[in-house]
Chains A and B, each alone.
Chain A
């Protein structure tokens, strides 16, 4: 039994490929737990960052600097009355958020956090991700239809049209990245998420800079399409607050509504990780070819530890700046505790065995985090597109450009 459990550790693949159910289950729990925590963190971060863009403070009351706000929100949403409109199609109404949630969480099976750190490595990984994540359209349409109300219906129709049309451009951009994976001695490409990153490793180049500017344009198309795909600003028409009150989830409240939100944020992280895997070198650290050698390896492996120590330092600055008043004592202690936890994590990350194992995961998450920040930045900056303009951008701009990039990539691939 113990041999079975430890057999994965000596293997050089993902638990799914090693056929080790125990470790696969552990990975599944870790990944899903991690994504749920990331969603909560993202929720807090979005409110804070957006607030600071808009000269506000954001959540400040629940926990130090509102750190416990997502938990308070979760408790509130869980305990809210569960309202189902009397005219709704109850079964479909119940099913819709679950579909969205399942679709956006299932894709994490193939997300490669490291060369061996994925639940499994499907040989059709990217296809699986695109396919499963587009199932969430179904949930949106079902939610809009089952609510039996006008605003959700219009929101759902908009959403289905939008998600389907942007998927085309998105898929073509992905194909041009996949074409690049075939530029090796054997001439065979791969759809495996891990294989794609390894291809970038062996070609010693992020696909972002491959055939400059082709890789760049393909990445740009994907970066635009993924915002539209996840229904985020400036493409947040399905839930355009000022037009359709809340779009397809107007009639949802409480737990079901929070499932939609969970699904939306999980989908955001999922598509960001596709972008990171395909163009920005997945788990690879920055400059793996340029800054080589033992010293640089050491320097880069220390970054995670220093990052957490830096966060701890910021937290302690916050502690020092807290008003010295009994009313703030709990908050100060809480923030100090938070800083201490961060510092402890930072110190643990310095330990050599942890340092080496955590590297890939850290760089992957850091790159995804940059994309998540971009999402917030877009939301603070841009007005919302109108429906016909959105369609025009999708079909008349992104689609032809992505076809052109695909053709040119193919030509370049043959020539060089």
Chain B
């Protein structure tokens, strides 16, 4: 792979060149264009090689790895505690979820239970992060489809979430909010008021986004029936998260295998029917409202007590392996950790939702138009830091 990068771009188009196009009487040539890695709408350094017949997409191939940092390999040379901040850098728009997944996986490996208060704090912060992630998705997705203004509205409101993060742990994006065994920081004075203020502040703003887009004729035309994927295809490809739910599968790890304190809250899992871009949009919008519901319950019932379980200073899990997954904003985020009994993990494998969801791109855009590729990349909600790791 490494030496191929220096070669001609055409050397990548293996399977695209294999299927011969239908010969028309004009016998026209297909156009092979490179979308990315520097492209305004590929959400980072994704490179998509498109084979086009005019505007129609005959095939795509994703070239990834431009943001590869070897996170999994780094883990093998760090202790369990030292590796914790690294996971924040994978899906940097949902850093809290990444941290939650890792901490819970290690806790499971060590047979440690985080105390209830820590779990509630975790739920509140994770759901806030889900909102931030969905807001960023909405803004950039709308921008890709040509509506500039929602981006600024979502960023304005996302700022309030980041402020809460900043007050809680000092960082806005790569928060490193949780530690193995619970949380390091007790909530600051006024945390609950801030969160309550925020959950009253956001619903009218979500209505505002919906007002701009949901019934907008052009938005509906651009998204309805675009990038359809059936439930069977989703399951076969391992696609998870809102993309799976928009295809009609009611699968949310928060309900299916509750972690943290999720079993104690009452919330719905929104699902779509047709599995197109518009349904995915509606599912995510509804998810934002459900997240607010969870946060409201959590912040009202947050128990008193310790925030850290009894965890040894030097974390040395017994020999064994564990797979633990959580519902990140983008889908199932899983950590597979193999321990050899030392202070460093023998191997950590991350199951990133973005990477798996991205594999559905080709299926979703084949036969559609160039503009739909952009819409589908947006609706898959990928973060290249997580795809490449």
Contact = CB atoms under 8 A, between A and B. Distances in A.
A54 B148 contact: yes
B303 interface: no
A388 interface: yes
B189 interface: no
Given A381-B212, A383-B146, A383-B218, 17 more contacts: A50-B148, A158-B55, A237-B371, A242-B41, A380-B148, A381-B149, A382-B146, A382-B147, A382-B218, A383-B222, A384-B147, A384-B371, A385-B218, A387-B55, A387-B370, A388-B369, A389-B218
B201 interface: no
What range describes how many residues of A lie at the interface?
A: 20 to 34
B299 interface: no
Contacts of A157: 54
B33 interface: yes
Interface residues of B, number: 33
B39 A383 contact: no
A56 B152 contact: yes
Contact of A245 (B40, B219, B369, B371): B40
21 contacts: A50-B148, A54-B152, A55-B152, A56-B152, A154-B31, A154-B33, A157-B54, A240-B146, A241-B40, A242-B146, A380-B148, A381-B149, A382-B147, A382-B216, A383-B219, A383-B222, A384-B146, A385-B221, A385-B222, A387-B55, A388-B369
A274 B151 CA distance: 34
A237 B152 CA distance: 22
B149 A380 contact: yes
Interface of B: 31, 33-34, 39-41, 52, 54-55, 142-149, 151-153, 156, 212-213, 216, 218-219, 221-222, 369-372, 374
A234 interface: yes
A236 interface: yes
A150 B33 contact: yes
Contacts of B52: 154
If over half of B's interface residues share one DSSP class (helix, strand or loop), that class is named, otherwise mixed; here it is helix
A151 B369 contact: no
Interface string A281-292: 000000000000
Contacts of A150: 31, 33-34
A233 interface: yes
Contact of B145 (A53, A158, A379, A384): A384
A383 B216 contact: yes
B380 to A, nearest CB: 15
Contacts of B213: 383
A384 B143 CA distance: 9
B369 A233 contact: no
B369 A387 contact: yes
A386 B31 contact: no
A150 B370 CA distance: 13
Contacts of A158: 55
Contact of A243 (B212, B221, B370): B370
B149 A54 contact: yes
A380 B34 CA distance: 29
Nearest to A237: B371
Nearest to B41: A242
A32 to B, nearest CB: 32
Nearest to A242: B41
Contacts of A383: 142, 145-147, 213, 216, 218-219, 222
B83 to A, nearest CB: 36
Contacts of B218: 234, 382-385, 389
Contact of A386 (B142, B149, B369): B369
